[in-house]
Structure 1
Amino acid sequence: MKKGLFFIVILLLGFRVAAQQKLLLKGKPNSMYVEHRVGEKESLSSIGRMYGLTASQLSRFNGRSPSAVLSKGSTLKVPLSISDISQKTGTPVYHAVSKGDNLFKISQRYNKVPVSQLRTWNKLGASGVKNGQELIIGYIKINTDQSLASSSQKETVADKVAETAVATEVAAKSTVSEPAKAVPVKEKEAAQEFHKDNEEKNNATAPVNSSLSDEGFFASLYVRDDLTLVQQYRSGDAATFKTISGWTDRKYYVLINDIKPGTIVRITTPNNKSICARVLSPLPLTKGDEGLLLRMNNAAASALGMKDEKFTVTLTFFE
């Protein structure tokens, strides 16, 4: 009986492995891609979510309309860059050995992965490589759970409640050395009701990963947007505000003027650390904020390794 069950398990695993697509790198070094075979009911949007791309990015790379209907069994080119390939677990990516290739050259081409690692991944032992041989050179993360991707289309009630609580907490803890100036009603409303159009655009295109990014909870919502958006840059001094948010859920927030609430920004410090945060509201009208570019919650500053009261940051966002 046990032997029969063992055989069935092995058989099922074999079918599962056979169903997985082998991702073979193609194209030139500055325009690499893998081919995805379109499955049942798959679209540019659903495939894009799997690879962390948008429908517009995929359609442009493939010379198709963003609304194109994909036929089952057809192939779609999925652009990849060297930075997308890691030496950690995930879905393996392969390189086809060509004339003149050797393990050292392949190693240098793909993130300088150790030759010993290439031998281990491909069970090469002390042997060399042959022309046409397909070698694992790294791994990429693919989100095949479409239920997770679908859940990213809507912001949860818990998120809205948490962000409103942060805004309330910030307002309650704001202190000044002179009589406080009233915060305009519009700013209070902005802190509680985020820019709906921007939120829907970000949520509609961003993939959801099962684990949080190194840049925080909102990292998956940064950029990945349509080609009409232009990247903007800011730099200046930053300070912090105290809140309980961000320490466990890694949801980072900033107060900054002239950027729509709800916008996701990337903040980088001189130590080359970065986090992604959501704009909560404009800077409050308080003494001591003159000359500040932004304030971020203290959990964000801790993630960046910043301990000073004020520090320099560079900020990028898309609008």
Structure 2
Amino acid sequence: MNKLPGRHLSTFQNCITYPVYYVVGEKEGLYRVSVNNNKVLMANLRKWNNLSSDAISAGQKLIVGYLVSTDPNLATVNRAAAPEVRETTTTTVVPEVKNEVVKREEEKPVQKQPVVEKKPDPKPTTVAVNDGNGGYFKSDYDAQMRGQSIKKDEMVTAGIFKTASGWQDAKYYALIDGVEPGTIIRIVNPNNSKAIYAKVLDKMTGIRQNQGYNVRISNAAATALEIADSEKFFVRVNY
């Protein structure tokens, strides 16, 4: 395990925040970092780490959450006596920890154990954006394929994974083996010829739930393709 290079603090409105770091492992994409850290929203990972894309590299240190003290008196104590934080690739990250002070009958303050609060994931709307062009990544796919011929064009077994992305911005995502994360692939529903363009987040190998599937697409992508909420179905993939 690598030791953090000092304690990183930022103060605002009488609060002190302690960023929690995670070291990216070999062949890990941003989606895998999210899964390994309580499924923290990928949008937050991009924001906290100033990422302009989903491309990350092994050994890169990412902020995956914050420890927050809302009591200024407790914050002063914690700053002087906070234990060393060590980072590993399997750290469970708590998005927010609040210290609370209660009063006994004699009005003497006592310190309680930190209370962990988990914010629920935002609920997506039930209808995915369909701009008629295949989604947000269509232009990226065109640029990617400019001057090149299609390398893969095959019918594969597909499943769905749930995410909050794509319902409002038409950004669709996929998990697939043998394709570099960040690559844009074209996915077609053979039953109605509807097509969308999805960015590859990570590989399928290593996740038990992916056995028996060649690709998983986001639930917003499946809705845009007018695929029924089926456990397993066929799509055509090319890139």
TM over 0.5: no
TM score, norm. by length of structure 2: 0.45
Specify which structure has the higher proportion of strand.
2
Answer 1 or 2: which has greater helix percent. 1
Q: What TM-score does the superposition give when structure 1 sets the normalisation length?
A: 0.34
Larger Cα Rg: Structure 1 or Structure 2? 1
